Amino acid sequence: MLKILDAICNLLAILAGIYLVAIMFGIVFQATARSFNFSGSSHIFTFSEYGLLYIAMAASPWLVRLRGHVFIEMLTAALPRDFGRVFSRFVALLCFVVCAILVWYSAQNTIKAYNFGDADMRSLDMPKWLLLISMPICFGLMALNFLRFVFGSETLHTGEAGVHE
């Protein structure tokens, strides 16, 4: 089961990276077109804005798995080793609870946007549920990855202060 979760998180991280590169090329194209007095495409900025949400959401489960989010280890480094492990598991449990709440809330909003036919109106009309669907999926994947640190052999925190890269 963990291998499937890892594969999904890896795939989403790769897609986030591809989308980021596509945004870069889109912006370069848009800037170049304007330099030559062409209008370019108004959709590039719209897809870039949407991409910022998709990229952040798609990369987050992968970052949780790798402990790539920003946190400070000074407290866990100062705690006794056994208590630090318990504390780290408690923090991971809190993160799981927050992600579970966000799954529920974002799923409710996604379903509501779908049922009411809400649209985001910019250079093109995009169904709002397509923008929101990444949130319950990716918060759910983050929640599962935090559970890995609650019940797994590894903890979220290393218990060592400093940069570990």
Cα-atom radius of gyration of the chain, to the nearest Å? 20
How do residues 149-165 score in pLDDT, each as one tens digit?
Answer: 999 988 888 777 665 55
pLDDT at position 5, please?
Answer: 95
Please state, in angstroms and rounded to a whole number, the distance separating the CA atoms of residues 75 and 91. 12
Tokens 């409710």, located at residue:
108
pLDDT at position 8, please?
Answer: 96
| 33 falls within a domain | yes
Number of domains, the chain: 1
| 160 falls within a domain | no
Q: How far from 2 is each of 60, 72, 79, 144, 148, CA to CA, in Å?
A: 17, 27, 30, 9, 9
Please state, in angstroms and rounded to a whole number, the distance separating the CA atoms of residues 100 and 136. 9
Residue segments in the chain with a per-residue pLDDT below the cut of 70: 161-165
Q: What are the backbone dihedrals phi and psi of residue 164, each rounded to the nearest 5 degrees, phi first?
A: -120, 70
| 106 falls within a domain | yes
| 159 falls within a domain | no
| 163 falls within a domain | no
Q: Which domain covers residue 100, as residue numbers?
A: 2-151
| 74 falls within a domain | yes
| 114 falls within a domain | yes
| 56 falls within a domain | yes
0.75 exceeded by pTM:
yes
